[in-house]
Copies of this chain bind each other. A is one copy, B any other.
Amino acid sequence: MATLDEVRLDRTSAQPLWAQLHADLLRRLEAGEFTRGFPAEGELREEYAVSRHTVREALRRIRAAGLVRSGRGRRSEVLATTIEQPLGTLYSMFAEVESQGLAQTSTVLRCGITKNEQAATALGLATDTDLFGLERVRLADGMPLAHDDVWMPASVAAPLVSSDFTRTALYTELERHGMSRPDGGRERITATLLGPEQAQQLGVRSPTAALLIERTGTLEGQPVECRRTTVRADRYALTMSFGPNGYHVGR
């Protein structure tokens, strides 16, 4: 019952067989088809009617992406089902909060379309361009965690003015309106001394150090997001691990 459809691969295509197989395996992984075990090389070979070499060429990339782990003698083991897009330290910080089971909410201080010279410049737009601005205090289980000020071009983010951000993440709302989240960007991380006003917003006494993260998010190379986040340093920190294969932010 496994070899019903062997016709998923197009041998006349300009795309290599292994690339087609690779794409199909990624699709099936993401669909959760292999949660009860990843197929063996021989099974894939039979199912797709290709040589073992072709199967291994596709598997090589899936292994390299860290989605499955293999070893002599034992079947491949599924480690993850999606390639986690690294979206910067900010993303990983809030993901960390979430993973600790804390409820994330926000107090919205400002949400609307205005002009902002500084943010427009950072986005590479004319200084009088209409921008969507969202200013929040982010809370983890009711406890102030960060002050977040984000600007996006109104031409892109205008539909978001009517959204309720007290419980919803910006990117979730973006995707709900059919827009993509940034696929790249830059962050600048430094430390800052909290002034009386910000200290009060974050619920700490005034002369306190905080992490300041300035972020520019891009979509296909175009800057679409300019963000300034002040994070309480007494409760939260950035962690990163590194090794021969590069960096990993968080955990």
Q: How often does this chain occur in the complex, in copies?
A: 2
The 0/1 profile, CB within 8 Å of B marked 1, for residues 183-211 of chain A is 11111111111000000000000011111
**What secondary structure prevails in chain A residues at the interface with B?**
strand
**C-alpha spacing A193/B240, complex, angstroms:** 22
B89–A191 CB distance below 8 A: no
Interfacial chain B residues near A209, Cβ < 8 Å: 191-193, 209-210
**Residue on B with the closest CB to A235?**
B190
10 contacts between A and B (CB under 8 A): A183-B243, A186-B239, A187-B239, A190-B211, A191-B211, A192-B233, A193-B193, A193-B209, A209-B209, A247-B249
* 14 other A-B residue contacts (CB within 8 Å) besides A186-B241, A192-B233, A247-B247: A64-B64, A87-B242, A88-B242, A89-B240, A184-B241, A184-B243, A186-B240, A187-B239, A187-B242, A189-B211, A189-B238, A189-B240, A191-B209, A247-B248
